[in-house]
Structure 1
Amino acid sequence: MTPPERELVRDRERTRRAVLEAAELAFEQKGAKASLAEIAALAGVSKSGLMHHFRTREELIAQVIKHSVSRAWEEVRAHVDLAENRPGKFTRGYVRAFTGGSEYLTRVFSPSGLLTALGTLGAAEPSEVLQQADARAWNEAFDADGLPPGRALVIRYAAEGLIAAMNSPYLTPEQLARAREELLALTEVEQL
């Protein structure tokens, strides 16, 4: 691939990502009322430019779901401390990301966030296959992390509950910090 061809591919990828991020924001703010024209304007492209990358609204919604799943994985991986060479490394990264370490996840998982908005868009069919594959991948990552399976489940779903309660009057920053500390402590297991 020549340098101009590589630059063109990078531009396409940047434009596609800009559209997906704009769509996330628009759906989060307006739900089903978000128009393709509004999404295109947020992304800084024309509506025809958006349609070049995503032929239909349904395709765009499906790709937003796929993009948000991919971003969740990126956020968790970014919070894994590679120097922690003991069981629970992945789970600790998950706890860190889901208990305030990731601005993206905090926004997406808030009660008025992207996940709630996507649930109102009628995108169930393309997302079911993706959800099944994603659920398997998360389960496999936790299963391979070296923690007792029941403990990993408790930690995982506690972290998800905390992220949903963040920025609400029901969870103070002090309570969040204490809960995060407790969850991280639960990831430490005695090595035989």
Structure 2
Amino acid sequence: MTLPERELVRDRERTRRAILEAAEQAFEQRGAKASLAEIAAIAGVTKSGLMHHFRTREELISQVIEHTIGRSWEEVRAHVDLTENRPGKFTRGYVRAFTGGSEYLTRVFSPSGLLAALGTLEAAESAEALQQADARAWNEAFDADGLPPGRALAVRYAAEGLIFSVNTPYLTPGQLALARADLMALTEVEPGPPSSPR
């Protein structure tokens, strides 16, 4: 591939990402009312430019879901401490990301955030397949982390529960810090065989 061709590909990728991020913003702010024209304006492209990358609204919504899934993984991986060479390393990164360490996840999971907005949209049929694949991938990552399965599930879903209350009157910063510390403590286990699911 020549240098001009590579630059063209990079420009297309940047434009596509800008549209996806603009769609996230528009859906967060306006929910199902967000129009393609509004999304295009936020992204700094024309509506026809948006339609060049995403032929239909359903395709755009499906790609926003896929983008959000990818970003969630990026955020968790960014919070994994690679020097922690013991069981629970991935789970600790998850706790860090989901208990205030990731501005992106905090925004997406807020009660009025992107996930709430996407839940009101008619997503493309492929969204269910994306979510099924994503759920399997998360489960595999937690299963491979070396913690007893029940404990990993409890920590995981407690962290997810906390993120919904971050920046609301229902959870003070002190309470969040206390809960985060206790969840982190639960990720420290003595080496041994993991418990098996019943």
Tell me the TM-score normalised to structure 1 length. 0.98
After superposition, where does 1:97-176 map in structure 2 within 5 Å? 97-123=97-123, 125-176=125-176
Structure 2 residue 77 is matched with structure 1 residue 90: no
Cα separation, 1, equivalents of 2:131 and 2:150:
22
Q: Which amino acid aligns with 1:130?
A: L
Cα separation, 2, equivalents of 1:119 and 1:126:
14
The corresponding residue for 2:5 is: 5
Query: For the aligned residues, what is the CA RMSD?
Result: 0.8
Q: Which amino acid aligns with 1:173?
A: P
Query: Secondary structure at 1:155's aligned position in 2?
Result: helix
Cα separation, 1, equivalents of 2:126 and 2:107:
23
Count of aligned pairs: 192
Give a deviation string over 1:38-87, Cα, whole Å, max 9, x none.
10010011111100000000000000000000000000000001111000
Aligned residues with identical type, % of pairs: 84
The corresponding residue for 1:28 is: 28
Query: Secondary structure at 2:125's aligned position in 1?
Result: helix
| Structure 1 residue 124 displacement after superposition | 5.8
Segments of structure 1 that go 5 or more residues without pairing to the other structure are none
| Structure 1 residue 190 displacement after superposition | 1.1
Structure 2 residue 180 is matched with structure 1 residue 180: yes
Cα separation, 2, equivalents of 1:65 and 1:102:
18
The corresponding residue for 2:76 is: 76
Give a deviation string over 1:144-181, Cα, whole Å, max 9, x none.
00000000000000000000011111110000001001
Cα separation, 2, equivalents of 1:125 and 1:84:
40
Query: Secondary structure at 1:58's aligned position in 2?
Result: helix
